[in-house]
């Protein structure tokens, strides 16, 4: 059961990263840079670095997750990255910013729906990381000492 859960989780989280990368890479990087800048947490030079590199990193992470290579490391990186994204989204929403979330390219407003979706994705990634890190426990029957049977007549 654990093996199938890990497979389903890594394919789901990996596919989301692949789709997120695709939606950002098909548009000019400057559009994504505007979404990154709208969070107002990075200086201009860092916005440019993130806007040009993050979609490629998401693409690579999605490929690694889907392939199952280095799953322990990839799942922890995915959970960490989604934690950063989700934290930024919560803080921005709490500050009352009406911005694009930038999750899947431009045009998606930050709101309860995006927070629910990204919170769910973060939860899936955390579960995947836990399952990938913790060793599988073998289920063995308990050892029972042989009993001496005596019959009285």
Q: Are 106 and 31 in contact (CB under 8 A)?
A: yes
Structure confidence at residue 68 (pLDDT)? 92
Q: SS in 3 state form for 66-111?
A: HHCCCHHHHHHHHHHHHHHHHHHHHHHHHCCCCCECCECECCCECC
Q: What angle do CA 23, 101, 40 make, to 5 degrees?
A: 120
- Mean pLDDT in residue range 96-119: 89
Q: What percent of the chain has pLDDT over 90?
A: 74
Structure confidence at residue 146 (pLDDT)? 67
**80 alpha carbon, distance to own chain's centre:** 7
On whether the pTM is more than 0.95, the answer is no
Assigned token pair, 15: 């596919």
How do the domains of the chain map onto residue ranges?
A: 2-133
Structure confidence at residue 115 (pLDDT)? 96
Structure confidence at residue 107 (pLDDT)? 79
Q: Are 14 and 60 in contact (CB under 8 A)?
A: no
Structure confidence at residue 102 (pLDDT)? 87
Single out the residue of 88, 89, 72, 87 nearest to residue 125, CA to CA. Answer: 72
Q: What is the DSSP letter of 103?
A: B
Q: What angle do CA 136, 7, 134 make, to 5 degrees?
A: 25
Paired with 109 in beta bridges are 100
Structure confidence at residue 121 (pLDDT)? 97
């Amino acid at each position: 059961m654990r093996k199938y859960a890990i497979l389903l989780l890594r394919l789901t989280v990996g596919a989301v990263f692949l789709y997120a990368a695709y939606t950002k890479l098909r548009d000019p990087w400057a559009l994504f840079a505007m979404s990154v800048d709208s969070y107002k947490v990075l200086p201009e030079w860092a916005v440019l670095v993130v806007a040009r590199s993050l979609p490629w990193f998401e693409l690579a992470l999605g490929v690694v997750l889907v392939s199952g290579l280095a799953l322990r490391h990839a799942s922890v990186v995915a959970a960490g990255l989604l934690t950063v994204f989700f934290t930024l989204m919560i803080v921005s929403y709490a500050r009352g910013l009406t911005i694009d979330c930038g999750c899947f390219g431009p045009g998606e407003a930050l709101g309860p729906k995006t927070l629910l979706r990204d919170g769910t994705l973060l939860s899936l990634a955390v579960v995947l990381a836990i399952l990938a890190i913790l060793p599988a426990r073998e289920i063995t029957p308990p050892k029972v000492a042989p009993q001496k049977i005596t019959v009285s007549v």
